[in-house]
Amino acid sequence: MTQERDPFANFERMRRDIDELFGDVFERAGFAPRRAFSPNIDVYYCGKPPRAVVKVDLAGIDIDDVGIEIRGRQVVISGERRSHDGPSRLYQQIEIPHGPFRRVVELGADVQADEASAGYQDGILRLEVPLVDSEEQVRHIQVRSRSEEA
């Protein structure tokens, strides 16, 4: 039995190698556009009662610089990773992104925003948002005849 080869399997590795080779040269010369900072996020659903869990990698960020909003099914996480540059530093390499960020996570279910909770430990922000019970989403509408309206 022969294994099928993926012709695109090595493209990501090649792109990283080229970025390492040429990217630093352009950045040091000041020609490269500044990369936007965007923290990594995991989203999953678990528990009884069910809840959405959003985990955000915010290593090196002061939690006082982070804001969280819930708008319907959207979770908006914003903040800033501040640079601690000093005038006497001469960098050989810069890979840790700094600056403001804003991430919008679209959840796959309706949530109870007023019961959300968040914690921050070891550089990971963990937001838990209870989901709306599917039975609470059902709304029964009574149909009235025209004779009842008069």
43 in a structural domain: yes
Residue 24 has a CB neighbour count (10 Å cut-off) of 15
- Residue 149 reports pLDDT greater than 70: no
pLDDT of 71 reads 93
Q: Can you tell me the distance from the alpha carbon of 37 to that of 64, in angstroms, rounded to the nearest whole number? A: 18
Least confident of 10-24, 46-60, 63-77, 110-124: 10-24
* DSSP string over 55-84: EEE-TT--GGGEEEEEETTEEEEEEEE---
Which residue did the predictor score with more confidence, 49 or 56?
56
State how many domains the chain has.
1
Q: Can you tell me the distance from the alpha carbon of 103 to that of 94, in angstroms, rounded to the nearest whole number? A: 23
Name the pTM for this structure.
0.66
Average pLDDT of the segment spanning 115-124: 95
The pLDDT confidence band at residue 9, using thresholds 50, 70 and 90, is low
Domain of residue 71, CATH code:
2.60.40.790
110 in a structural domain: yes
